[in-house]
Amino acid sequence: MRLLLVSNSTLHGSGYLDHCQQQISDFFGKSVKRVLFVPYALHDRDGYTKTARDKFRTLGYEVDGIHEAADPVEAVRKAEAIFIGGGNTFRLLKSLYDNQVVSEIRKRVLEDGVPYMGSSAGTNVATISISTTNDMPIVYPPSFAAIGLVPFNINPHYIDPDANSRHMGETREQRITQYHEEVDTCVLGLREGCMLLVEGNKATLLGSTNARLFSRGKPRVEYNPGSDLSFLLNDAH
């Protein structure tokens, strides 16, 4: 299994995927020539695919939009690599179910070793469920259960509480605490600029920012880039 799970596609002051383009090149390497892009998280699938295609061409890869294929399941079966982009996680997961590709993506990644990259919502759907997304439920997928490539949940775009803020809504940390009032599964908060590389049984934190791990009934833990998080693949509770 090979995964590159990115918190966000764009950092402030930079272009689309600029902050992780070296990690993308290292991840897909020279053996991959074409990447199957899944633009389901945004309404304008053609425009989104063009954005991804233009970027990936600068890195030496061609992109095929899954929505351009006559049979999306067959497109997944033939894919050399898969990239699921960000947007609305509920819309994304509903479309994955509607097009019957959830189990096929899982099979290709876990059994066939096809590399999987996710960004934001695409990272959310790689986990057990989308219950720790930040998005509004603008559509209703048949289940919150996601592709399940890793045995824990992720909160992309994790943001720390601001002690000087006058905003009276829940902080991200409070919302994750509410999740743990119902569920045991641990949650990895990926700040913007942060990403997780999974190669077989090894998971490594990459990027320019720390991640914060939340476990039910335990103190939160900070991890620096370069940290070995392989234990999450075996013990996610």
Which one is catalytic: 103, 157, 180, 227?
Answer: 157
135 is catalytic: yes
Rg over CA atoms, the chain? 17
120 is catalytic: yes
Task: From residue 197, give the alpha-carbon distance in Å to each of 23, 61, 150, 152.
Answer: 9, 20, 11, 14
Which one is catalytic: 7, 120, 129, 215?
Answer: 120
Side chain identity, residue 100:
Q
Which one is catalytic: 7, 9, 131, 135?
Answer: 135
Terminal-to-terminal C-alpha distance of the chain: 21
Contacts with 53 (C-beta within 8 Å, 6 or more apart), sequence order: 37, 62, 63, 65
Q: Report which of 93, 196, 187 is spatially closest to residue 147, judged by C-alpha positions.
A: 93
* Active site positions, annotated: 120, 135, 157
